[in-house]
Amino acid sequence: MRIIPTSETHLQLLVNLHNSGSELFTLDFWKEPRTVNKPIDIMVGPNHLASFQNWLAENNLKATVWQEDVQKLIDKEAASIKQAMIKPFNPADLKSFDFSNYHTFDEITAFVKSVATTYPDIASVFSLGKSVEGREILGLKIGKAGSNKNGFWIDGGIHAREWISPAVALYTINELTSKYATDATIKNYVDKVDFYIAPNVNPDGYEYSRLTDRLWRKNRSKQKCNIFQCCYGVDLNRNFPFHYGESGTSSNACSEIFLGESALSEPEAKALSNAILQRKDQLKAMITLHSYSEDWLVPYGYAIPAVYPDDYSELLDAAQTGAKAGAAKTGVSYTVANSAAGLYAASGASDDWSKSIGIKYVYTIEVRPGPDDSNGFVLPADQIIPTSTEIFEGLKVIADRVIAVKN
């Protein structure tokens, strides 16, 4: 259902409902409460629809049905993936990887290793660490050997259900490696920049979203209980040690934005932070890929009224240039805004933390679909390539800025 709050009172009601973990109803916020007159998308369980509608009426809130049956979206997606599995990825043949469909975590891992094997002069695998359930989180370093090179970090999949995020990261890896020998622009980037790309930093949540609950968001940390129920998982993008536990988080373990027991309590967040810290002095850019809404978001996002870094104008200019480059390629325009002002306040996030430790160009990119597309997180696979194409154009703009940063 889509709700557009028209007053601060209505907005605060929805913020409170969101942060409570929806104890009164079975709700899943697809678009979190932002500001007045901005749409909020909420998936409502069938057994709670009537009671939720009553709550809306009691609070004088109006809602429209945005997607009548989410299961139909999921079933259609599953059928598409099943059809694609007729020709599975063969790690011995890198060209057999289908970038126009979604893949298992094991296939993603095999692809990363295969790239390093196929292009050993410019690509090598590194490990960030292991997940709660023991899956190894791998990244790929792409860069021609050389000294004093600036670094560019890109990660995806921190929220499990945002499948398009790892898919874009995989496409980016392929563009930088497969075209190195034939594309002078790509060669220049790989010669002058070390790219560190971690396609999926929440493997347990991702596999759970594939096999059990398509709309699972968090990791799969141990069960924790409140007075109503027991729930698994922590929102990894609320678990970083910068303004941890402030706006846009919840201490309720059943909330989609549960912050965890302490900063970096989750092995996936700890692994990601360690990998970035190890390269902190080299990294000049960090981009984390999310969905959905078609936004380039600029730090800081931990508070409203918004807080801005000293170099905000530079960051904004680079993001606007990147968004324009993507739009020129596909015709899809992304909004550029401060994270808190343009999306919602979220403290303890990986982008804010990355900016706080001194990385220059830091962004969250919320990729397709746009705010008027009711597919939400279940983005059809035929959108993977066009989405990846427009994002890669933007990444090239940031790579140009990375090259220009003086050590």
Q: How far apart are CA 101 and CA 383, in angstroms?
A: 9
Name the residue among 291, 300, 292 with its Cα closest to residue 357.
Answer: 300
Q: So what's the pLDDT on residue 341?
A: 75
393 is catalytic: no
The pTM assigned to this predicted structure is 0.96
Listing DSSP states for 149-205 in one string gives -EEEEEEE-SSTT-THHHHHHHHHHHHHHHTTTT-HHHHHHHHHEEEEEES-S-HHH
- Domains, the chain, ordered by start: 2-66 (3.30.70.340), 86-208+262-404 (3.40.630.10)
Give the type of residue at 7.
S
The residue to which tokens 């899943």 are assigned: 28
| Residue 45 contacts residue 25 (beta carbons within 8 Å) | yes
Instruction: Please tell me which residue in 32, 175, 366, 390 is annotated as part of the active site.
Output: 366
Name the residue among 138, 141, 140, 257 with its Cα closest to residue 201.
Answer: 138
User: Which pLDDT tens digit goes with each residue over 346-359?
Assistant: 899 999 999 999 99
Q: What is the DSSP letter of 383?
A: G
Q: So what's the pLDDT on residue 153?
A: 99
Q: So what's the pLDDT on residue 22?
A: 55
| Residue 167 contacts residue 228 (beta carbons within 8 Å) | no
Q: So what's the pLDDT on residue 200?
A: 98
Q: So what's the pLDDT on residue 137?
A: 98
Kindly state the tokens that stand for 96: 């057999």
Q: So what's the pLDDT on residue 7?
A: 93
Judged by DSSP in three states, 51 sits in helix
Q: How far apart are CA 153 and CA 139, in angstroms?
A: 10
Q: How far apart are CA 258 and CA 139, in angstroms?
A: 26
Q: So what's the pLDDT on residue 342?
A: 61
Query: Beta-carbon neighbour count of residue 106 at 10 Å?
Result: 12
Q: Which residues of the chain have pLDDT under 70?
A: 21-24, 342-343
Q: How far apart are CA 362 and CA 367, in angstroms?
A: 16
Cα-Cα-Cα-Cα dihedral sign, residues 274, 275, 278, 282: negative
